[in-house]
Amino acid sequence: MPKLVWINGSVMPLESAVVSAADHALLYGDGLFEGIRFYNRKVFKLDEHLHRLYRGIAFLGFKMHIPFEELRNLVLSVCAQADLDNGYIRLNVTRGTGLGLNPDAIDQTPNVMIMINTLALYSQESYETGLHVVTSSFRVIPADSLDPRIKCIGRYASNILAKQEANRRGAGEALMLNHQGQLAECTGDNIFLIEKGIVRTPHPSCGILQGITRDVAIQMAREAGYTVEETILTPYDVLSADEAFLTGTAAEVIPMVSIDATPIGNGKPGPITNEVIRRFRLHTETGTPFGAPATTLV
């Protein structure tokens, strides 16, 4: 079974997987998720993703019944059963099952899902020539409404609207600002700008998800000898940049070559961007191995 799902202790083919109609994430978006990649049968940044997940569980007050190490082993086991060398893991944890907003009125046993699938956000050509991006009219959710460090299922409605806007405008991605007009993030990616050899990215206080791949890109740029700044940026900074790129687990690292039909720099992927991409691809070899395909399902 190359694509499969583990749900609350049972493994099944992706096509036959079901969840309860009263799952609290289905009813209210009351759930958390992590998207995780694996390369050459090694799960990339598994512990970092799980730590973020469990921080969200604590923040939202879920009564999680699976300890960290047990869930970690489950992810590796399900990956082995899927028999894919490279793929994408979707890990969901929802509050529980029942109708009504009040958590005290439902079964608060979290529903846990581990999906093994494949995902490609952008074409291979986009990684070679770069993405054309537009500025979205939709703003990110303010941090005083929902902390952006929480990877909550419900918060992505605005990101989907921004993505639809980009589709209508013939762009590969949409850049979202915060309510102060500062750069935040794209619909599923963090943004980096490069000017005069300095790599800059929005500060977490600007309302971004602190992406795992964002952290890797910062590490790769610094290891290559470049200064990296987490700071406040505006649309002016995009237009004055020499290069730009986006990062995300699903997106990986991809060049950004224009904003609102205006070229960034010379309108082509730049040398620092390409160096970060090269180092990122090498770094993906450092993941947690899950071994040969399993012969039984657990």
In whole angstroms, what is the distance from residue 209 CA to residue 190 CA?
8
Task: Please give the distance of CA 67 from its chain centroid, rounded to a whole number.
Answer: 23
Is 292 a residue whose pLDDT tops 70?
no
In whole angstroms, what is the distance from residue 165 CA to residue 102 CA?
34
Q: Residues 61, 92: one domain?
A: yes
State mean pLDDT over 138-162: 94
Q: Write down the pLDDT at residue 1.
A: 58
Four-residue CA torsion sign, 15, 21, 23, 29? positive
In whole angstroms, what is the distance from residue 124 CA to residue 48 CA?
27
State mean pLDDT over 213-230: 98
Residue 249 tokens, joined = 């687990």
State mean pLDDT over 248-253: 96
Q: Residues 146, 272: one domain?
A: yes
Distances (CA, A) of 201 to 61, 221, 290: 31, 12, 33
State mean pLDDT over 86-100: 98
pLDDT digits (tens, 9 = 90+) for 5-51: 999 999 999 999 999 999 999 999 999 999 999 999 999 999 999 99
Decide: 89 and 35 in contact? Cβ < 8 Å. yes
In whole angstroms, what is the distance from residue 254 CA to residue 248 CA?
9
pLDDT digits (tens, 9 = 90+) for 67-78: 999 999 999 999
Residue 33 tokens, joined = 């998720």
Boundaries of domain holding 182? 124-284
Residue with the bigger pLDDT between 143 and 277: it is 277
Q: Which of 119, 134, 169 is the last residue of a domain?
A: 119
The CA angle 243-37-223, to the nearest 5 degrees, is: 45
In whole angstroms, what is the distance from residue 272 CA to residue 279 CA?
11
Q: Residues 84, 185: one domain?
A: no
Q: Residues 159, 51: one domain?
A: no
Q: Write down the pLDDT at residue 296.
A: 45
Is 295 a residue whose pLDDT tops 50?
no
> Residue 266's domain is classified under what CATH number?
3.20.10.10
In whole angstroms, what is the distance from residue 127 CA to residue 131 CA?
8
In whole angstroms, what is the distance from residue 83 CA to residue 2 CA?
5
Residue 294 in domain? no
pLDDT digits (tens, 9 = 90+) for 127-137: 999 999 999 99
Residue 230 in domain? yes
% of the chain beyond a pLDDT of 70:
97
Which band of pLDDT confidence, cut at 50, 70 and 90, is reported for residue 169?
Answer: very high
Which band of pLDDT confidence, cut at 50, 70 and 90, is reported for residue 83?
Answer: confident
Residue 298 in domain? no
Q: Residues 32, 76: one domain?
A: yes
Report the chain's mean pLDDT, rounded to a whole number: 95
Return the CA Rg of the chain: 20
In whole angstroms, what is the distance from residue 218 CA to residue 196 CA?
17
Task: Please give the distance of CA 42 from its chain centroid, rounded to a whole number.
Answer: 18
Which band of pLDDT confidence, cut at 50, 70 and 90, is reported for residue 2?
Answer: confident
Is 293 a residue whose pLDDT tops 80?
no
Q: Residues 132, 108: one domain?
A: no
